[in-house]
Amino acid sequence: MSRISTALSAPFAPVRAYFRKHRSFGIFVGVALLSIALPLLTRVPPFDGIQSTNAWVNAFTTAAIYAMLAMGLNVVIGFAGLLDLGYAAFFALGGYTYAFVASPFTGVHLPFWPMLLAGGVVGAIFGVLLGAPTLRLRGDYLAIVTLGFGEIVPITLMNADKFTDGVNGIGGIDKPSIPGILQFTLTNPWPMYGLVIALFALIMIMIYRLQDSRIGRTWDAIREDELAAESSGVNIVIAKLQAFAVGASIAGIVGVVNAAKITIVTPDQFRFAVSISVLAAVVLGGMGNTIGVATGAFVIYLFQSILLKQLNTLVENFNIPVLNQIDFLEFQYVLYGIVLVLMMLKRPQGIFPARRRMREFAPLKIGKRGAK
């Protein structure tokens, strides 16, 4: 770290030391403060001119959903070192699980809260089902299989017309409510914002605890050297399955929340582009660093949903015929591509590299000391 940044962070040292000791509480406080600061920020120029506070809050909610997905995928890619290109499939399974039991489509209306858990369980089950036969594959091969799975799920949902209403998806999904106290609505974004932020903090705390646990250490070991981990007595199949299951269950839970937020699920919401955008967030933020990938997701989402939209309005004002034809929102895929390529070339450890990962990308000076 440079001397300047050390000097700058010096006054915060006691605070940092406190939160290092009480990290879960620190995350809780940090997320709470941020969740209050962000809406306040949208009331000052230039942000207040872009869209209403309600629209901003809605955007932050989606960004946080996206960030939770990034944190979940990071467990699989960043912790265990398994390249999963079909992560959106688990997100879809969570969403459809809730849609099946809380919409006019089936006529069943189960309450939202227990279904949060159910979404996680469904995700974990499918994670294990996909993982068990495929985790013996390595690197590229695993990526290809997960890529296939990621396509199979939305295509199945699209073609199983009878059960899913195909491309139309399932609409009118129930919004959450706290009976007698609070009913979530489409027009008031605040309750959903609160719910998502709370869940975000919970998931982040859980992931950090997991990383420090025995399981976290086994993931470090298999990522570094599978053979050495095996020789040390690590059951690598179980360890990888655990990573897959944790990642998938987070996607499942988030899928339920997402379905309840936008009240409709369609196969199109879960295509390859979603997996790639979450991957881009993980790469941008720094594989292995939970806070980093969450930030990466926030940045990418707000960039595409606010900045690109603004670009559209801006260009319309110029009234240049050729440029008017361009919908900059379509450029989000170019954006993911640029992010992935540039990051891999210039800064593969991400903007906020994980401490251990930093060592992995730093050139090792092996044997310099020499034998004496």
Partner 1 sequence: MAPLLELKDVHTYYGAVHALRGVSLKVEEGEIVTLIGSNGAGKTTTLRTISGLERARSGSIKLKGKSIEAAEPHDIVRLGVGHSPEGRRVFSRMSVRENLEMGAFLRKSGPDVQKDFKKVFDLFPRLKERESQAAGTMSGGEQQMLAIGRALMAQPKILLLDEPSMGLAPILVEQIFDIITEINSRGTAVLLVEQNAMMALGIAKRGYILQIGEVTLEDSCAKLAKNPKVREAYLGV
Which CB atom, from 20 or from 368, has the smaller least distance to partner 1? 368
Which CB atom, from 107 or from 370, has the smaller least distance to partner 1? 370
Report the C-alpha gap between 220 and 360 in whole angstroms.
Answer: 11
Residues in contact with 171: Cβ distance below 8 Å, sequence separation at least 6, in sequence order? 103, 105, 263, 264
Binders in 179-218 for partner 1, by CB under 8 A: 217-218
Cβ atoms within 10 A of the Cβ of 99, count?
28
CA distances from 140 to 82, 84, 146, 244 (A): 10, 10, 10, 16
| Min separation Cβ 214 and partner 1, Å | 8
| Min separation Cβ 195 and partner 1, Å | 38
Taking CB under 8 A as the criterion, the residue among 14, 46, 180, 233 binding partner 1 is: 233
**Site size for partner 1 (CB under 8 A):** 27
Taking CB under 8 A as the criterion, the residue among 129, 147, 198, 221 binding partner 1 is: 221
Does 371 help bind partner 1 (rule: CB under 8 A)? yes
Report the C-alpha gap between 73 and 75 in whole angstroms.
Answer: 5
Taking CB under 8 A as the criterion, the residue among 52, 159, 232, 324 binding partner 1 is: 232
* Site mask for partner 1 (CB under 8 A), range 295-334, x = bound: ----------------------------------------
- Answer yes or no: are the C-beta atoms of 197 and 57 closer than 8 Å: no
Binders in 329-368 for partner 1, by CB under 8 A: 356, 359-360, 364-368
Does 229 help bind partner 1 (rule: CB under 8 A)? yes
Angle at 153 between CA 149 and CA 157, to 5 degrees: 165
Which CB atom, from 162 or from 372, has the smaller least distance to partner 1? 372
Dihedral sign (CA 187, 188, 189, 191):
negative
DSSP single-letter state for residue 330: G
Taking CB under 8 A as the criterion, the residue among 143, 148, 220, 271 binding partner 1 is: 220
**Angle, helix 139-159 to helix 112-134, in steps of 10 degrees:** 130
* Residues near partner 1, by CB under 8 A: 217-218, 220-221, 224-225, 227-235, 356, 359-360, 364-372
